[in-house]
Amino acid sequence: MSVIETLTQRNEAFSSSRFSADLKIMPSMKTMIIGCVDPRVDPVDIFGLAPGEAAVIRNVGGRITPSTLQTMAMLRIVAKASGGDIGPGWNLIVLHHNDCGITCLAHSPELLAKYFGVAPADLHALAIADPHKAVAVDVAALKANPFMADPIVGREPLRRDQGDDAPVPESETLTSEISCCYPTNEFYA
Ligand SMILES: [Zn+2]
SS (H, E, C) 103-135: HHHCCCHHHHHHHHCCCHHHHHHHCCCCHHHHH
Kindly give the distance from the C-alpha atom of residue 47 to the centroid of ligand 1, in angstroms, as a whole number.
Answer: 16
Kindly give the distance from the C-alpha atom of residue 89 to the centroid of ligand 1, in angstroms, as a whole number.
Answer: 28
* Strand order from edge to edge, sheet including 169-175: 54-59, 31-36, 91-97, 169-175
Kindly give the distance from the C-alpha atom of residue 100 to the centroid of ligand 1, in angstroms, as a whole number.
Answer: 4
Ion ligand 1 neighbours, Cβ < 5 Å: 36, 38, 100
**Which pLDDT score, from 0 to 100, does residue 174 have?**
52
**Which pLDDT score, from 0 to 100, does residue 171 have?**
60
Kindly give the distance from the C-alpha atom of residue 83 to the centroid of ligand 1, in angstroms, as a whole number.
Answer: 34
Kindly give the distance from the C-alpha atom of residue 62 to the centroid of ligand 1, in angstroms, as a whole number.
Answer: 7
C-alpha 81/C-alpha 61 separation (Å) is 30
Residues 11, 134: contact at Cβ < 8 Å?
no
Kindly give the distance from the C-alpha atom of residue 40 to the centroid of ligand 1, in angstroms, as a whole number.
Answer: 9
* CA torsion, ordered 155, 158, 162, 168, to nearest 10 deg: -90
Q: What are the residue boundaries of the structural domains of the chain, listed by start?
A: 23-175
Query: Model pTM greater than 0.85?
Result: no
Look up the CATH number of domain 23-175.
3.40.1050.10
Kindly give the distance from the C-alpha atom of residue 82 to the centroid of ligand 1, in angstroms, as a whole number.
Answer: 32
C-alpha 38/C-alpha 99 separation (Å) is 10
Kindly report the average pLDDT of the chain as a whole number: 80
Residues 33, 55: contact at Cβ < 8 Å?
yes
- Give 78-96 pLDDT, tens digit per residue: 988 988 888 778 888 899 8
Work out the pLDDT band at 168, boundaries 50, 70, 90.
Answer: low
Residue of higher predicted confidence among 172 and 94? 94
